[in-house]
C-alpha cells in the first residue's frame, strides 16, 4: 500500500459492511430519534386526561318554618288567638283555624277552668301544645290579655282576660257560633269580644 492509500484510510476510516463511517453515525442518529419519538408517544398514550370529580352538595328539603305562628304554607296554628266575624255578633275571638271561641260563665273570670269530663268533650279547651311557651296574638287581639292556666290533667289551656277559652263541637266551620248563649253542662256559654268581654247578644 502506498502513502496515498494510507492517507486515504486514515482520513475516511475503515468501511463496515455497506456503510461507511458517515453512514454509521447517520444510522445511530436516526435510530436514536425514532426511540425518542416512541418514548414520547408511549408516555402520551399512558397518561390520560385528569378527570375532575364534582360532588354536588346534598339537597335537603327546606323545613317548614314557623314565622310567629304562621307557617310557610299559610296555615296558622290553633293556639293563635285572632278575631273573626259572626253574623249578628260582629267581631269575636277565634282560634288559628278561624273557629269561634267561647267562655264558660261558671269559670267566673278567675283564670281557672271548671269544665272537665263530659263538659270538656263537648267544649274542648283551647290548649297550648307541648313545647310552646305562650299563645300568640293574631290580628285585632291584645297580647297583654292572653294568658294560660294549668288543667288538672297537666295540659295548658289558653285564657283571654282571665277567661279560659273553649271551642264547641257543633261548630263545623269558621263564622259559626251555634253555642252562643246556650245553657249547657252546668252553665251559660258566650263568645268574647276582642276587648275580652262576653257578648250576650243572641244572633
Question: Quick one: pLDDT at residue 124?
Answer: 98
Asked whether residue 26 is domain-assigned, the answer is: no
Asked whether residue 98 is domain-assigned, the answer is: yes
- Written as one string, the DSSP assignment of 139-161 is TT--GGGEEEEE-TTS-EEEEET
Q: Tell me the C-alpha distance between 112 and 157, whole Å.
A: 9
Q: Which domain holds residue 169?
A: 77-199
If one counts the domains in the chain, the total is 1
Asked whether residue 9 is domain-assigned, the answer is: no
- Written as one string, the DSSP assignment of 99-146 is -B-EEEGGGTTSSS----THHHHHS-B-EEPTT--S-EE-TT--GGGE
Asked whether residue 1 is domain-assigned, the answer is: no
Asked whether residue 33 is domain-assigned, the answer is: no
Asked whether residue 154 is domain-assigned, the answer is: yes
Asked whether residue 153 is domain-assigned, the answer is: yes
For CA atoms 37, 40, 44, 46, give the dihedral sign.
Answer: positive
Question: Quick one: pLDDT at residue 162?
Answer: 98
Asked whether residue 180 is domain-assigned, the answer is: yes
Measure the CA dihedral 113/114/118/119, to 10°: -70
Q: Is 10 exposed, middle or buried (0-12, 13-18, 19+ CB in 10 A)?
A: exposed
List pLDDT tens digits, range 20-51. Answer: 445 544 554 544 555 555 444 454 444 444 44
pTM above 0.75, yes or no: no
List pLDDT tens digits, range 83-142. Answer: 999 999 999 999 999 999 999 999 999 999 999 999 999 999 999 999 999 999 999 999
Amino acid at each position: 500500500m502506498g502513502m496515498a492509500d494510507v492517507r486515504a484510510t486514515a482520513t475516511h476510516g475503515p468501511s463496515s459492511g455497506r456503510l461507511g463511517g458517515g453512514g454509521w453515525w447517520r444510522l445511530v442518529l436516526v435510530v436514536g430519534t425514532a426511540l425518542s419519538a416512541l418514548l414520547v408517544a408511549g408516555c402520551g398514550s399512558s397518561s390520560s386526561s385528569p378527570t375532575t370529580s364534582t360532588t354536588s352538595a346534598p339537597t335537603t328539603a327546606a323545613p317548614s318554618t314557623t314565622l310567629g305562628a304562621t307557617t310557610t304554607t299559610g296555615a296558622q296554628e290553633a293556639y293563635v288567638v285572632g278575631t273573626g266575624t259572626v253574623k249578628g255578633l260582629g267581631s269575636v275571638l277565634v282560634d288559628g283555624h278561624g273557629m269561634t271561641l267561647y267562655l264558660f260563665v261558671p269559670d267566673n273570670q278567675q283564670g281557672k277552668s271548671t269544665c272537665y269530663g263530659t263538659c270538656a268533650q263537648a267544649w274542648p279547651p283551647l290548649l297550648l301544645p307541648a313545647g310552646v311557651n305562650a299563645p300568640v296574638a293574631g290580628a285585632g287581639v291584645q297580647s297583654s290579655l292572653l294568658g294560660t292556666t294549668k288543667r288538672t290533667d297537666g295540659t295548658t289551656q289558653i285564657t283571654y282576660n282571665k277567661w279560659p277559652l273553649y271551642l264547641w263541637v257543633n261548630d263545623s266551620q269558621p263564622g259559626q257560633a251555634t253555642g252562643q248563649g246556650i245553657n249547657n253542662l252546668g252553665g251559660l256559654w258566650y263568645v268574647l269580644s276582642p276587648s275580652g268581654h262576653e257578648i250576650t247578644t243572641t244572633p
